[in-house]
Structures are given as C-alpha cells and as structure tokens.
C-alpha cells in the first residue's frame, strides 16, 4: 500500500478534522501518499479528490465539522455508483480507503469491500456513541460537554421561575448523550430509548420531588425515548397533572454537533487515525478502529455494524440514586 484515501461520511461530528489530520500525518510519517475525498461516498463517485500532505491539515485540530465535508449518497447504495467509485480509486492508483463516520458509512464500506475486495478501515465518528466495539466514538465527549453547558444555563432560568424544563437531546436509538449529560448536569429524570420509565412513574417521581421542596426541575429526553411520545406530548401530560409547575420545552438540536472538539476527542481521533493507517500497512482490512479500556483495538467491521453498543446499567442506577 503506497496511497491511501480518507473521507468523512454521514452526520458530522466534532473531532473529524483531528481524525483526518491524524490519517494524513500518519501517511506522511510512513512515507505513503494520502488523498482526501470530499463529500463522502458521493465525492468518491464523482472523483472529487485532493492530494494531501502534512501541511494540508495544519490548524484544523481545533475546528469542528470536517474540512473534507460530509454527505449522504443515494448513488452509493446502487451497484452502479459503487462501480464508478471503484474505477475512480483504481484510476487514481489508490490502494485503501479510510472512512470516518457512523454505522451507515461502515455498512457502505463493508459492502464495497465485499464487492471489490478493496481494503477499507473505519474510524467511528459520531456524537451518538452508538457504535459497537468502541467505548467512545469521536465527537461524543464534545457533544456531552456542549449539552451539559446548555443545561447549566437552562437551570439558571428554571430555578429563577420555578419552572420544569424538558430538554430534548440527540439520540434516536441510543441514550448515551441523554444519560451521561443528564447525570453530569444533575437532571431529575432522564428518558432514553433503552429503558421504559413510563409516564406515570415520571409523574410520580416529579410529584415526589415537588413535595420534597424542589421548586424547579430538569428532565432530559432523548429523541427516541421509549415512551413513544414526543417531548411536547410528554410535557403536556406532566403540565396537566402537575399544575404547580410552569412547564417549558427546549430542543437542543444541531448545536450538539458543532463546536471545537474537546481535548478528549482530539486525542482519541489522533490515536484512531494512527491505528487505521498502521492496520492498513499491516495488510489488515474490513476493520473498525475502536478504543477499549483505553487501548486502540481492531474490530470486525461487520460486527461493529451488526451489534448494539449497550449503555451501562450501572449508570442508570446512579441516575436513579441521584434523583432521590
């Protein structure tokens, strides 16, 4: 392998730039060429490539988003699109592909690897932390800190007005952000996709805390929480049954994806980029780089896609105890 390509794909996350930088600099370190692909698989199909060297990635470790841009590509879902992608890689004499993204992007990489036997390595970049085979994904820590910051601010206004705030955070299938940011920000209750707290139990708990003297409360709700109701419906139900509180809803939205990456994410991304290039140079393929117990490991890409990254039940217990 003497020429490697790198791309970012799917939803962006803070720290993707640090990962690009690490892949590019690792290539420079091992004296192989590196090519950047713009806009994920779509750019691959359109041969939107740029030659990169150690200097092309200066001043980006601190920047959110991705300098290579990210995209979702319908064309790559079709065999015809993937054939074009393959031909472009061969025409540019590229021997391997590093994909920074989430499980959709890894599925694409896996399909591509199977079809053309083209070496692919994945680096998990998503704020959701929903990828199996790694304790942490790049961007998750930054997103957590952003969410905690915002909830701290909401708490100020909540306590000044005796308000009950429902704060919706990202996580359609995964409660990592809600659970950890909820505990970190001292939320009274946390609703996540993995656990069915039930609206009655939520009401009961909020009534109890009201009786115990709490004048304001924060409830963190993951987008895909198990109640099956959206955050406005949940808030309405509580408001109707707990009129002592003024209820408000705050949707955190895309700000969770942005911002300068935390030091944790920058270090994680730097380590993962090096590991990805070293795996390729070792002749390994169809793997994802993971961080397990603070060691860089290689996980079968198929396993990373198929299996579910389960939340730690112990953390749920902590959240229960804290809301006494």
Query: Can residue 217 be called a binding residue for ligand ATP (CB under 6 A)?
Result: no
3-state DSSP helix/strand/coil % of the chain, to nearest 5: 45, 20, 35
Chain positions 122 to 151 lying near ligand ATP, rule: CB under 6 A, are: 126, 128
In DSSP terms, 217 is beta-bridged to 164
Ramachandran angles phi, psi of 108, nearest 5°: -60, -45
The answer to whether residue 250 forms part of the interface with ligand ATP (CB under 6 A) is: no
> Quick one: which of 8, 9, 22, 285 contacts ligand ATP (CB under 6 A)?
9
Radius of gyration of the chain (CA): 22
Q: Contacting ligand ATP (CB under 6 A), which of 66, 88, 107, 262?
A: 107
Candidate segments 8-16, 22-30, 200-208, 279-287, binder of ligand ATP by CB under 6 A: 8-16
307 is annotated as contributing to ligand binding: no
Q: Is residue 286 close enough to count as binding ligand ATP by CB under 6 A?
A: no
Q: How far is CA 87 from CA 9, 47, 94, 254, 304, in A?
A: 19, 9, 10, 36, 27
Cα atoms in the Cβ-side hemisphere of radius 13 Å centred on 139: 31
Residue 258 assigned to a binding site: no
Q: Quote the least distance from Cβ 40 to ligand ATP, whole Å.
A: 6
Tokens of 195: 């656990």
Among 47, 77, 199, 203, interactor with ligand ATP by CB under 6 A? 77
Q: What is the dihedral of CA 111, 117, 122, 126, to 10 degrees?
A: -20
Nearer to ligand ATP, 41 or 165 (CB): 41
128 is a catalytic site residue: yes
Q: How far apart are CA 119 and CA 287, in angstroms?
A: 9
Query: What DSSP designation does 131 have?
Result: B
Pick 181 or 235: Cβ nearer ligand ATP:
181
Interface region with ligand ATP, contact rule CB under 6 A, candidates 4-12, 25-33, 184-192, 310-318: 4-12
Which residues contact ligand ATP by CB under 6 A? 9-11, 41, 72-73, 76-77, 101-105, 107-108, 111, 126, 128
Active site residues: 128
């Amino acid at each position: 392998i003497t020429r490697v390509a790198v791309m970012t794909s799917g939803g962006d996350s803070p720290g993707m730039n640090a990962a690009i930088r690490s892949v590019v600099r690792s290539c420079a370190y091992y004296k192989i060429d590196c090519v950047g692909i713009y806009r994920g698989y779509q750019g691959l199909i359109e041969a939107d490539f740029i030659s990169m060297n150690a200097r092309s990635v200066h001043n980006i470790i601190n920047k959110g988003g991705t300098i290579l841009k990210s995209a979702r590509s319908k064309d790559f879902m079709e065999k015809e699109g993937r054939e074009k992608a393959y031909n472009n890689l061969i025409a540019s004499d590229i021997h391997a592909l590093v994909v920074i993204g989430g499980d959709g992007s890894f599925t694409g990489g896996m399909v591509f690897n199977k079809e053309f036997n083209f070496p692919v390595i994945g680096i998990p970049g998503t704020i959701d932390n929903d990828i199996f085979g790694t304790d942490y994904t790049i961007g998750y820590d930054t997103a957590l800190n952003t969410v905690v910051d915002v909830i701290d601010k909401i708490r100020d206004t909540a306590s000044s007005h005796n308000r009950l705030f429902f704060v919706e955070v990202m996580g359609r299938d995964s409660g990592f952000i809600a659970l950890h940011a909820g505990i970190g920000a001292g939320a009274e209750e946390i609703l996540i996709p993995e656990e069915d707290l039930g609206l009655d139990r939520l009401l009961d708990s909020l009534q109890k805390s009201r009786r115990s003297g709490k004048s304001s409360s924060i409830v963190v709700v993951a987008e895909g929480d198990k109640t099956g109701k959206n955050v406005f419906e949940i808030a309405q139900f509580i408001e109707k049954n707990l009129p002592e509180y003024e209820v408000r809803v705050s949707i955190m939205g895309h700000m969770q994806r942005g911002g300068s990456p935390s030091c944790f994410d920058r270090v994680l991304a730097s380590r993962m980029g090096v590991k990805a290039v070293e795996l390729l140079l070792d002749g390994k393929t169809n793997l994802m780089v993971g961080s397990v117990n603070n060691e860089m490991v290689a996980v079968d890409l198929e396993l990373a896609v198929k299996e579910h990254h389960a939340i730690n039940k112990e953390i749920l217990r902590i959240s229960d105890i804290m809301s006494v």
